[in-house]
């Protein structure tokens, strides 16, 4: 009998026999599969769900309270207070040096906007509020768009189509489909509407860490990329631009991602659990 090296643990069973059979089949066929630790155990899922519940409640709280004239620092304050009141931690805070508890991204800011006491929500703005929560060590992540006051019809349409892109991505993220199917479906819908999909930032695995494997690109080719397997938890968060998909990072703060042409960008983000017969939205 072979001996186990000291420290090797028995992994808890994290998928059914049916899933195991399919995994073995696809492995033989040479598909790219998620590594085993990305398939959540029941215990992990229970924690991730609790985290996600707080994250959704936080977005609902923001939806109720966001107002024209408010500074983005006030949004940050709401996020910090609500999260800590629920015994949770805002995941962005001090994440790789990010200085605030939430990302607030207005108009031509694509993502990772830093809240500021000097930045105010004005009529006509579209703003993405991206919140991520750590509860008992488990991570959740989602974002919504808000339209402030009177928003130009062409910007309203961008916000609407970006939401449709996210929803189409979610519908496509089925067990035993491929990540490339998700990207292709999103890209097709964006481009059909005359918009572009940001290439330089992607969705991601999330749950045990803030950002895990796999990368979830919002563009691509059907029938390519990693196989989507029950037990995976990841985000779909397409950034849709009115003009070019090219972006740059503001040198002054090292975070703020802006469109290259200064035209607006919109993003909605959901976090999903892949199940044996479909998927479940954990937070959005």
Binding residue ranges for a divalent metal cation: 130, 141, 204, 237, 269
CA dihedral over 162, 164, 166, 172, signed as positive or negative: negative
Q: Which residues are annotated as a binding site for substrate?
A: 112, 211
Residue 217 forms beta bridges with which residues?
Answer: none
One of 45, 58, 103, 109 touching ligand MF3 (CB under 6 A): 103
Place of tokens 């200085």: 99
CA gap 109, 259 in Å, rounded: 6
Q: What is the closest distance, in whole angstroms, from the C-beta atom of residue 25 to ligand MF3 in the complex?
A: 33
52 CB contacts (<8 Å, ≥6 apart)?
133, 140, 142, 271, 282, 283
Q: Which residues are annotated as a binding site?
A: 112, 130, 141, 204, 211, 237, 269
Residue 151 vs 165, nearer CB to Co ion? 165
For ligand MF3 (CB under 6 A), the number of binding residues is 11
List Cα–Cα distances, 107 to 158, 200, 241, 267, in angstroms.
Answer: 11, 18, 10, 11
List Cα–Cα distances, 236 to 90, 197, 251, in angstroms.
Answer: 20, 13, 27
State whether residue 139 is helix, strand or coil: strand
Closest to 236 in 3D by CA, of 212, 218, 224, 223: 218
141 belongs to the binding site for ligand MF3 (CB under 6 A): yes
144 belongs to the binding site for ligand MF3 (CB under 6 A): no
Residue 74 vs 269, nearer CB to ligand MF3? 269
Q: What is the closest distance, in whole angstroms, from the C-beta atom of residue 112 to ligand MF3 in the complex?
A: 5
Place of tokens 């696809």: 26
Name the residues that contact Co ion, by CB under 5 A: 141, 235
State whether residue 194 is helix, strand or coil: coil
Report what 98 binds from Co ion, ligand MF3, none; CB cut-off 5-8 Å by kind: ligand MF3
Residue 93 vs 176, nearer CB to ligand MF3? 93
112 belongs to the binding site for ligand MF3 (CB under 6 A): yes
132 belongs to the binding site for ligand MF3 (CB under 6 A): yes
End-to-end distance of the chain based on CA atoms, in angstroms? 50
One of 59, 72, 79, 92 touching ligand MF3 (CB under 6 A): 92
Residue 22 vs 49, nearer CB to Co ion? 49
Q: Which helix (H) or strand (E) holds 57?
A: helix 42-65
Residue 23 vs 146, nearer CB to Co ion? 146
Report what 92 binds from ligand MF3, Co ion, none; CB cut-off 5-8 Å by kind: ligand MF3
One of 98, 234, 245, 268 touching ligand MF3 (CB under 6 A): 98
List Cα–Cα distances, 97 to 86, 100, 111, 150, in angstroms.
Answer: 23, 9, 16, 35
Stretch that binds ligand MF3, among 48-56, 89-97, 149-157, 216-224 (CB under 6 A): 89-97
Residues binding ligand MF3 (CB under 6 A): 92, 95-96, 98, 103, 112, 130, 132, 141, 237, 269
């Amino acid at each position: 009998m072979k001996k186990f090296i000291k420290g090797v643990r028995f992994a808890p069973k994290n998928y059914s026999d049916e899933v195991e059979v399919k995994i073995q089949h696809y492995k033989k066929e040479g598909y790219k599969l998620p590594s085993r630790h990305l398939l959540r155990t029941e215990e992990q899922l229970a924690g991730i769900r609790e985290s996600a519940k707080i994250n959704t409640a936080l977005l609902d709280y923001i939806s109720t309270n966001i107002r024209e004239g408010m500074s983005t620092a006030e949004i940050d304050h709401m996020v910090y207070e609500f999260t800590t009141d629920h015994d949770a931690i805002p995941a962005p805070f001090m994440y790789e040096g990010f200085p605030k508890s939430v990302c607030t991204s207005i108009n031509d800011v694509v993502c990772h906007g830093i809240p500021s006491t000097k930045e105010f929500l004005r009529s006509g703005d579209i703003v993405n509020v991206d919140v991520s929560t750590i509860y008992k060590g488990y991570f959740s992540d989602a974002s919504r768009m808000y339209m402030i006051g009177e928003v130009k019809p062409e910007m309203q349409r961008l916000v609407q189509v970006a939401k449709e892109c996210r929803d189409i991505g979610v519908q496509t993220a089925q067990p035993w489909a491929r990540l490339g199917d998700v990207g292709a479906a999103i890209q097709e819908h964006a481009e059909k509407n005359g918009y572009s999909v940001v290439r330089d930032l992607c969705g991601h695995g999330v749950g045990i860490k803030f950002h895990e494997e796999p990368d979830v690109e919002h563009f691509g080719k059907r029938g390519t990329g990693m196989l989507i397997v029950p037990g995976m938890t990841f985000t779909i968060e397409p950034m849709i631009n009115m003009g070019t998909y090219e972006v740059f990072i503001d040198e002054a703060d090292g975070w703020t991602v802006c469109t290259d042409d200064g035209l607006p960008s919109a993003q909605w983000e959901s976090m999903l659990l892949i199940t044996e017969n479909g998927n479940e939205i954990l937070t959005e």
